[in-house]
Every structure is written in structure tokens, then in C-alpha cells.
Amino acid sequence: MGSSPKAVLEGGPSDLSQRIVPITPPGIELRIAHDGGYERFRVTPRWRDTSEGSLPVYEWFEHIEH
């Protein structure tokens, strides 16, 4: 398996372009550029079955401006 790890994003703005994103390296928090700032997501203990396999779920917790 040469592909990079991925995660499922849950919550946050409904107009995010992707809900399955690469996580490099896997960790505690993701920042996704969106609408002039960043959406921040935290890892949860949950996993979700997706078309790309079972992936960890990251939950939205805040928007920060640039």
C-alpha cells in the first residue's frame, strides 16, 4: 500500500470541496484552507467505512482567519 493515509472530515462548512483528505503525518489536528482562513479538525476515536476503506474521523472544531 503506497498511498498516503487519509481521513474523513465531519462537520464544519457544508461547502468544503473534499470530505476525504490526506493526513501527513497522521496526528491530532488538521488545518484545511477554506474561505480566507482555515477550518480546524481534531481526530476522534471513531472510524467510518468509505469508498476508500475504513478511515479515521476528524471532527470540525473552529474556523481561524489568515
pLDDT of 2: 57
pLDDT of 66: 76
Confidence of residue 15 (pLDDT cuts 50, 70, 90): very high
* Cα distance between residue 26 and residue 66, in whole Å: 23
Give pLDDT tens digits for 35-55.
Answer: 899 999 999 999 999 999 999
* Cα distance between residue 66 and residue 37, in whole Å: 5
Query: First vs last Cα of the chain: how many Å apart?
Result: 35
pLDDT of 47: 97
Cα separation values, 54 from 8, 35, 40, 47, 49, Å:
9, 29, 22, 6, 4
Check: pTM over 0.85? Answer yes or no. Answer: yes
